Structure 1
Amino acid sequence: MSEKVKQLPYEDNGEPEGLNATLTSPIAADGRPEPGKRYIVPARQGRAVRLAQGQRLKIINTYGSQVCDFWAFNASSPREFLSMEHLRTWLSRLTPVVGDPLVTNHRRTILTFLEDTSPGVHDTLLTSCDIYRYQKLGVEGYHDNCADNLRMALKAIKLRTAEVPSPLNLWMNNPVQADGSIGWLTPVSKPDDYVVFGAEMDCIVVMSACPQDLVPVNGKDCQPADLHFEVI
């Protein structure tokens, strides 16, 4: 006779470990943007945006040195989301390029990569920074982080994520070295470089202007900067 399977208690991963202005500064109560209006993602904060199928999102690296942690969720079923594991398998490549579909954990296209004025150096390997990352780096107390920015940006528009998927790290320069190690280099993008994504389904995207200020992923001065975006 088979034994009864014991179900482990479940607790979702949607609560931030601390707070910043992300929670109280949505672009709109429901996250719907005004087409053509330019919005800011302040340094160290995040913003959530609702995209309708067919809309295009332009993200601008205003100062050229800022990494943007980027997520996308199916608007009707947020348990389906842009997945880096599935994307690498789908593309047989570490990073997407213009023309590539960006696929979900259900192996469906949620966005298409339409334009990129930068040299195309982005990252799909590294997870978003979180409070534990900064504790390991010696930070005492709370430090803004991308995982919490995701949680807060969604909560700001009355949504919640049960987990923190690995992001598409736009402009992050972390090459895999010949010996298998990962480099921590500065971005090679320049001021006002931008990327454009086209929505292939109604979705919710979240952008975080990465708060990392202890390693030079946001430039050699380790100073996070603002990003801008618009729906076109």
Structure 2
Amino acid sequence: MATTSAAYQATKGGPLDVDKAFYDRVSRTPEGRELVDSFIIPIRSGRAWEVPAGHLCRVVTVDGPQVGDFNVWNLNDPRERLWAARTRQLQRAHVSTYDRLWSNLPFLRPLLTITDDTLAAYGTDAEGGRVHDLLGTRCDPYVNRMLTGEDFDFHCHSNLVRAVLPYGLTEFDVHDVLNVFQCTGLNEHDQYFMKDCPARPGDHFEFFAELDLLCALSTCPGGDLSVPMWGPGAHDPIEVCNPIGIEVYKVEPELLQGWSSPERAAYRNLHGMVRPQWQS
């Protein structure tokens, strides 16, 4: 069967052409990194943290399979944040090594580049499931109330809201997520499905910060998603919840030679409007 070409094509030397040799050098030189921050995010909670430009960050399954809902902003201007829909178009619906997470308009630039993924070999399973999902978004208490008639305050949306409050951000700043370690796809009816998380203790997802980043992650209350949270057979899956570890590494300057943070989009933001002469 013929393969339909992607709508957004990478051309040699263009903005979608990733310098794989650079990211391989940064990621695969363990002696060229220094651990500068590490912590554990407990089950059913969230935390925000900073990753300076040019640093590496690793998300690790500590004790067992666990899905993490991830948000990311420009630390210095949180109006710039992950644009999940455009990232799906420019990269893939399920991301892995060398893919990038792109920011919203009017910025439109890579916030980070994925440098290592121990689940990259998972590929596509028999049901069409893939990992590190951009198809869906975070679970939230509003949908939960709609479906069950009950309130629950530890969905990923709420965990992320609490996590970013110390940075002066609110519920309106929380956005569509990257579901790290989550296995999802579309069924024969074009409906979104979730499967058991394939991660095991020590699996990790690592990225390189292209800008100074504010990151936040929720340890999903669904845990490894092996137990349905809604519908027939649903119950509280707390027994399949595990913590997630975060590690931030400083990269030796020699490894960063030739790299610089990407500039924001070059479009002049006029949108067909003409400036008054007195503004010329």
TM bucket (normalised to shorter chain) is 0.7 to 0.9
Residue range with higher mean Cα deviation, 43-52 or 145-154: 145-154
Residue in 2 that maps onto 1:228: 245
TM-score, length basis structure 1: 0.77
**CA distance 1:161–1:179, change in 2 (3 Å):** closer
Give runs of aligned pairs for residues 1-232 of structure 1, distance below 5 A: 35-91=35-91, 93-105=92-104, 106-118=107-119, 119=122, 121-138=131-148, 140-160=150-170, 162-212=172-222, 216=226, 222=237, 223-232=240-249
How many Å apart are 1:210 and its aligned residue?
Answer: 0.7
8 Å Cα contact 1:67/1:217 also seen in 2: no
**CA distance 1:195–1:218, change in 2 (3 Å):** farther
Q: Which has the higher strand share?
A: 2
Instruction: Give the whole-Å Cα distance in 2 for the aligned partners of 1:98 and 1:49.
Output: 22
Residue range with higher mean Cα deviation, 133-142 or 161-170: 133-142
Instruction: Give the whole-Å Cα distance in 1 for the aligned partners of 2:146 and 2:172.
Output: 24
How many Å apart are 1:207 and its aligned residue?
Answer: 0.8
**CA distance 1:64–1:83, change in 2 (3 Å):** farther
Instruction: Give the whole-Å Cα distance in 1 for the aligned partners of 2:136 and 2:216.
Output: 17
Q: Which has the higher helix share?
A: 2
Residue in 2 that maps onto 1:7: none
Instruction: Give the whole-Å Cα distance in 2 for the aligned partners of 1:213 and 1:200.
Output: 30
Identity %: 30
Residue range with higher mean Cα deviation, 161-170 or 211-220: 211-220
Alignment partner of 2:246: what SS?
strand
Unpaired stretches in structure 1, ≥5 consecutive residues: 1-33
Could you list the per-position Cα deviations for residues 84-137 of structure 1 after superposition, in whole angstroms to 9, with x for gaps in the alignment? 10101212x212220112111132010010000123612111121111122234
TM-score, length basis structure 2: 0.64
Instruction: Give the whole-Å Cα distance in 1 for the aligned partners of 2:87 and 2:224.
Output: 29
**CA distance 1:179–1:160, change in 2 (3 Å):** closer
Unpaired stretches in structure 2, ≥5 consecutive residues: 1-33, 124-130, 250-280
The amino acid that maps onto 1:111 is: L
8 Å Cα contact 2:59/2:245 also seen in 1: yes
Choose 1 or 2 for highest CA Rg.
2
**CA distance 1:224–1:214, change in 2 (3 Å):** closer
The amino acid that maps onto 1:230 is: E
Count of residues paired in the alignment: 198
Instruction: Give the whole-Å Cα distance in 2 for the aligned partners of 1:162 and 1:136.
Output: 20
**Over aligned residues, Cα RMSD in angstroms?**
2.6
How many Å apart are 1:188 and its aligned residue?
Answer: 1.4
**CA distance 1:214–1:229, change in 2 (3 Å):** closer
